[in-house]
Amino acid sequence: MPAAVDQSAFPTLNPDRIPEHAQYEIAKSTFKSILRYFEQPGVQERFEVWKAERDQRQSKVENP
- The pLDDT-based confidence of 2 (bands split at 50, 70, 90) is low
CB-CB contact of 38 with 44 (8 Å): yes
Q: Which residue has the higher pLDDT, 64 or 13?
A: 13
**Predicted confidence (pLDDT) per residue in 32-58, tens digit:** 999 999 999 999 999 999 999 999 999
Query: Is 8 part of any domain?
Result: no
Query: Is 36 part of any domain?
Result: yes
Query: Is 11 part of any domain?
Result: no
**Count of domains forming the chain:** 1
Query: Is 57 part of any domain?
Result: yes
> Distance between CA 33 and CA 13 in Å, rounded?
22
Query: Is 41 part of any domain?
Result: yes
